């Protein structure tokens, strides 16, 4: 799709041009900033008031509220930032009195209201358009922090074989179909049967459901795998599929034997902790290449 970050391997160089990272909640923004700086990129950090984690202070951020878009714009101009990354969760829908902020915000207000009036899915896409109208370029976090992306092949444990590989292929096929319909990013297969597919509830809730299905013995047999992939055409600038320590914990609760993630399109948050947790509980972690993840989907 035009204007979309297609996740292709072309990367924004680690040149002199700085990148602004607008941080929502969680640990991920800090990791992205650290990875980008490790890769030699200069990063201007903006923390969203009431959303960003206090630990972000370690990166000397400028804290801004939802109503300070004018101030944000000025800051980005001054810092010569053309590239912009938005990362981390936004849990609150800003209230109108928070939005009606500075003059720069006021000027954009009609477009902001129009954006907020739309459905959830398109909200961030509309926010991106607001920035792009002002001459900025919004890019995916994976473009400045590629070291956080899953690589193809065995990441933790041995490469799956036999029944496990069959579950992996089955779940990947389900995810590919779901993705094609723009429904979800994840599925769980146990004993060569897909038992759960992700909708709006998200991966953690789906894993909790699998644990419950096991508990009430609605699902029998041992093992099984979680597969998580980006949707085809998914806008990785606003919604980068991610796994982390919670995902591993959820898989352990559900009695699964491992996780398959799409290489190059799924981000591993708190990578060291995530991999250590997988190792501790004997879960494998495997990077599916694009062909594996979609080969059965056509």
Query: Is 182 a residue that touches its own copies (CB under 8 A)?
Result: yes
Interface stretch with its own copies, choices 12-20, 24-32, 101-109, 184-192 (CB under 8 A): 184-192
Give the one residue of 21, 36, 145, 195 binding its own copies; rule: CB under 8 A.
195
Give the one residue of 13, 221, 232, 233 binding its own copies; rule: CB under 8 A.
221
Query: Is 194 a residue that touches its own copies (CB under 8 A)?
Result: yes
Please tell me the number of Cα atoms within 13 Å of 235 on its side-chain side. Answer: 20
- Partners of 242 in the beta sheet? 267
Closer of 37 and 180 to its own copies (Cβ):
180
Output the DSSP codes for 45-92. EEEETTTS-GGGGGG-PEEE-TT-HHHHHHHHHHTT--EEEEESB--S
Give the one residue of 173, 185, 292, 294 binding its own copies; rule: CB under 8 A.
173
Residues numbered 17 to 36 that lie near its own copies (CB under 8 A) are none
Shortest spacing between CB 200 and its own copies, in angstroms: 4
Closer of 99 and 268 to its own copies (Cβ):
99
Measured between alpha carbons, how far is 42 from 109 in angstroms, rounded to an integer?
Answer: 31
Which pairs with CB-CB distance under 8 Å and at least 24 residues apart come from 232-237? 232/176, 232/179, 232/180, 232/294, 233/1, 233/4, 233/182, 234/179, 234/185, 235/4, 235/5, 235/125, 236/5, 236/7, 236/140, 236/142, 236/265, 237/4, 237/5, 237/86, 237/128, 237/138, 237/139, 237/140
Query: Is 174 a residue that touches its own copies (CB under 8 A)?
Result: yes
Go through 64-73 and write b for each residue having 16 or more CB atoms within 10 A of its CB, e for each that does not: bbbbbbbbbb
Interface stretch with its own copies, choices 55-63, 107-115, 144-152, 173-181 (CB under 8 A): 173-181
Closer of 189 and 262 to its own copies (Cβ):
189
Query: Is 54 a residue that touches its own copies (CB under 8 A)?
Result: no
Measured between alpha carbons, how far is 68 from 76 in angstroms, rounded to an integer?
Answer: 12
Closer of 97 and 220 to its own copies (Cβ):
220
Joined together, the tokens standing for residue 61 give: 């951020």
Query: Is 199 a residue that touches its own copies (CB under 8 A)?
Result: yes
Closer of 135 and 221 to its own copies (Cβ):
221
Residues numbered 94 to 133 that lie near its own copies (CB under 8 A) are 119-121
Shortest spacing between CB 221 and its own copies, in angstroms: 7
Query: Is 200 a residue that touches its own copies (CB under 8 A)?
Result: yes
Closer of 120 and 291 to its own copies (Cβ):
120
Please tell me the number of Cα atoms within 13 Å of 21 on its side-chain side. Answer: 31
Which residues would be at the binding site for its own copies (CB under 8 A)?
Answer: 119-121, 173-174, 177-178, 180-184, 188, 191, 193-197, 199-202, 205, 209, 212-213, 218-221
């Amino acid at each position: 799709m035009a204007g979309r970050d297609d996740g292709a391997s072309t990367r924004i160089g680690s040149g002199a041009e700085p990148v602004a990272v607008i941080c929502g909640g969680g640990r991920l923004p800090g990791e992205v900033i650290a990875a980008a700086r490790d890769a030699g990129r200069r990063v201007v950090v903006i923390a969203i008031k009431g959303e960003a984690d206090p630990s972000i202070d370690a990166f000397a951020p400028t804290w801004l509220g939802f109503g300070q878009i004018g101030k944000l714009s000025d800051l980005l101009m001054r810092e010569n930032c053309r590239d912009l990354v938005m990362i981390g969760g936004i849990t609150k829908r800003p209230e109108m009195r928070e939005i009606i902020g500075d003059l720069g915000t006021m000027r954009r207000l009609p477009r902001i209201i129009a954006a907020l009036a739309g459905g959830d899915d398109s909200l961030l896409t509309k926010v991106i358009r607001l920035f792009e109208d002002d001459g900025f370029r919004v890019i995916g976090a994976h473009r400045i922090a590629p070291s956080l992306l899953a690589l193809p092949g065995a990441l933790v444990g041995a490469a799956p074989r036999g029944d496990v590989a069959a579950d992996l292929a089955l779940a990947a096929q389900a995810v590919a179909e779901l993705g094609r319909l723009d429904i979800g990013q994840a599925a769980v297969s146990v004993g060569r049967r897909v038992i759960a597919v992700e909708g709006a509830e998200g991966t953690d809730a789906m894993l909790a459901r699998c644990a419950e299905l096991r508990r009430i013995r609605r699902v029998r047999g041992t093992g099984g795998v979680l597969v998580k992939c980006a949707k085809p055409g998914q806008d990785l600038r606003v919604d980068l599929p991610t796994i982390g320590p919670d995902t591993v914990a959820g898989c352990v609760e559900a009695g699964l034997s491992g996780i398959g993630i799409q290489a190059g399109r799924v981000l591993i948050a708190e990578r060291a902790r995530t991999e250590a947790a997988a190792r501790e509980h004997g879960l494998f972690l495997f990077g599916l290449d694009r062909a594996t993840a979609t080969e059965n989907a056509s």
